[in-house]
Each structure stands twice: as C-alpha cells, then as structure tokens.
Amino acid sequence: MDDKKIARINELYKKKKAGTLTEEEAKEQALLRAEYIESVRNNLRASLANVSIQEKDGSIHPLRSKKAVEVRDEK
C-alpha cells in the first residue's frame, strides 16, 4: 500500500469525524481500509515466515503456522 492511499484513508477519516462524509466516500473508505488491513496481514505473515525458534537444547526450527500445528495434532 502506497503513501497516497494511506493519506486518503486519513483524509476520509477526518471527513467522517467532521460529519461531512458522503455515501460514495464511505464506500471508498471501506475499500481502502480492507486493502490496508490485508496489506498489514500479508506483511505480518511474511515476517513470521522468517522467524525461527531456538529450543533450550540448542535446536532451531522454523515457526509453524497454527493451521499446520492443528493438522499435525489431528493425525
């Protein structure tokens, strides 16, 4: 997400707070917010994909997703 879109989200927020947000702008705000949230989630997933856990015994293994752990536990 680029800085222009983030600035637009903030601009629309200020208009909403002032009570001058139109219905069309409200729809735009909802779309931009959804895009922003998805961007944050993807960045977090990418960061967590590079995390490794070091156990007390010195062994190192990559962090597994919750879904992978649930599938393994079901077997």
Q: Give the pLDDT confidence of 12-68 residue by residue, as tens digits.
A: 999 999 999 999 999 999 999 999 999 999 999 899 888 998 999 999 988 877 766
10 pLDDT band, cuts 50/70/90, is very high
Tally the C-alpha atoms within 13 A of residue 45's C-alpha that lie toward its C-beta. 9
Which band of pLDDT confidence, cut at 50, 70 and 90, is reported for residue 71?
Answer: low
Tell me the pTM.
0.70
Residue with tokens 């190192």: 60
Structural domains counted in the chain: 1
Identify the pLDDT of residue 56: 93
Q: Which domain holds residue 61?
A: 3-74
